[in-house]
Amino acid sequence: MSLEVQIHEDETHLLIKAAGQYSLANLHELLDRVKKESENGANQRVILDVTEVAGTIPVMDMLVLGEHCARFWNPALRVAILSPVGGLDMFFENVARNRGAQVAVVPNHDAAIAWLR
C-alpha cells in the first residue's frame, strides 16, 4: 500500500503532503518523488509534510533513508520535513546532512518556511 500524496506549488517552494501507513518502501518511494517533483518544477525548496504518516520508523530505517537522500537528491535541493513523534527525527537529519543533503526536521510550518529561506 502506498502513501497518498498531495503536491502544492507555491511561489517560493513546493509543499508535498503524504498520508498513510509507514513502511520503508513507502517512505523510500516518497523521497524519490520529492526528487522527481523538485526536478520537474525546477523548484529546489521543498516542505515535506509527513505528519499524517502513521507508524514508528525504526532507527535502522532512518539510517537507510538518510543515506538514500544524500546519495540521490540534488545537492542544491533544500528540504524541510514536518514529522510526527516516532517519525523522521534528528537522527535521520544528521545522517542525511553528514553525507551532504540539505535537510532539516522542523516542528511546524513556520519553522519550515524560515529554514528554507
Residue-by-residue DSSP string for 84-111: -TTSS-HHHHHHHHHTT-EEEEESSHHH
Domain count, the chain: 1
Confidence band for 43, pLDDT divided at 50, 70 and 90: confident
**pTM given for the model:** 0.94
How much is the pLDDT for 2?
A: 87
Q: What is the pLDDT of residues 1-38, one digit of tens each?
A: 589 999 999 888 999 999 999 999 999 999 999 999 98
Percent of the chain whose predicted confidence (pLDDT) is above 70: 97
Q: What is the mean pLDDT of the chain?
A: 93
- What CATH code is carried by the domain that includes residue 51? 3.30.750.24
Pure H helices in the chain: 24-40, 59-72, 90-98, 109-116
The cell for 77 is 535541493
User: Domain range spanning residue 31?
Assistant: 4-116
